[in-house]
Amino acid sequence: MTTDPLTIAREKIGCADLLVTFSGAGLSTESGIPTFRDASTGLWANYDPAKLASQEGFQADRRLVIEWYGSRRKMIAEAPPNPAHIAIADFETWHPGRIVNITQNIDGLLQRAGASSVLELHGTLFEDRCNSPHCSHRQPVDLDEEVVLVDCPRCGAPMRPAVVWFGEMLPQDVWRQSDQACRRCDVLLVIGTSGAVYPAAGLVDVAKAHGASVIIVNPEPTPLDHLADAVFHEPAARIVPGLLEDHNAAG
């Protein structure tokens, strides 16, 4: 029996009726997207991202928060999907219905690569939503428009980025679908996430408890490594295409 992690991982993925990917910032590193902490450079070097990405920050200085998100959105809109995003999207093309992608990323790069089965646990940079807890209005962001303060056309409350801020709950419908996918999947492929953030990291426990194989791709060791059937301490763009591509070609 082989103990080569690449062989093991490819066999597991090849046999899976349902593959779930669970990704974090490391999936987008090779697209040139700075991590959240590194996002405060240049003009923004004197601001604390954790304060800007919060209801308190928004209440304290709405314009500042909107402008910060505007600059992040502009930078991310110009970043290309990398080979890992593309391999995931191609897998879905070849095997529709056999992959669900849960992501903590708000960068939309999986969708831009062509993936459509994406559950965004932390929301998206490319939509705004109403800040009122009693209103569910959402709208896409016009990337060509200058950054402006917008009020909700339905209720008049301020519009804000449709992302999850510090201290906020994950969107419950997305969370429920993610939990269900992890209960059903045969393989959970964890990509570029430290496994440190709960409740999201608890999805790995859920999948494992329901009999799934777990494969982890992350440059650094993670607290979840001991749960995995195969672990790769390498960048996503270097490993993920090799895990998925042959199955794509086999169609």
**Does the protein bind Zn ion through residue 135 (CB under 5 A)?**
yes
Sign of CA dihedral 61, 75, 100, 139: positive
54 phi/psi in degrees, rounded to 5:
-155, 155
- Stretch of 42-50, 65-73, 79-87, 133-141 contacting Zn ion, by CB under 5 A: 133-141
Which member of 137, 138, 184, 238 binds Zn ion (CB under 5 A)?
A: 137
Of 85, 95, 122, 247, which residue is the catalytic one?
122
Catalytic annotation on 122? yes
Q: Give 125-129's long-range contacts (Cβ < 8 A, gap of 24+).
A: 125/69, 125/72, 125/73, 125/76, 125/161, 125/163, 126/73, 126/77, 127/161, 127/162, 128/159, 128/160, 128/161, 128/162, 129/159, 129/160, 129/161, 129/162
- Judge whether 202 and 102 are in contact, CB under 8 Å: no
CA distance 221 to 195: 10
**Does the protein bind Zn ion through residue 18 (CB under 5 A)?**
no
- Stretch of 89-97, 119-127, 148-156, 171-179 contacting Zn ion, by CB under 5 A: 148-156
Please identify, using beta-carbon distances, which residue of 62 and 137 lies nearer to Zn ion: 137
Question: Which amino acid, one-letter code, is at 58?
Answer: F
Two tokens, residue 166:
């510090």
- Stretch of 20-28, 40-48, 152-160, 166-174 contacting Zn ion, by CB under 5 A: 152-160
Please identify, using beta-carbon distances, which residue of 64 and 135 lies nearer to Zn ion: 135
**Does the protein bind Zn ion through residue 138 (CB under 5 A)?**
no
CA distance 110 to 114: 7
Question: Which amino acid, one-letter code, is at 88?
Answer: I
- Stretch of 135-143, 194-202, 218-226, 239-247 contacting Zn ion, by CB under 5 A: 135-143
Which member of 15, 43, 155, 196 binds Zn ion (CB under 5 A)?
A: 155
Number of residues that bind Zn ion (CB under 5 A): 8
Which member of 130, 182, 207, 217 binds Zn ion (CB under 5 A)?
A: 130
Two tokens, residue 141:
């962001």
Which member of 152, 187, 230, 243 binds Zn ion (CB under 5 A)?
A: 152
Residues near Zn ion (CB under 5 A) are: 130, 132, 135, 137, 152, 154-155, 157
- Active site (catalytic) residues: 122
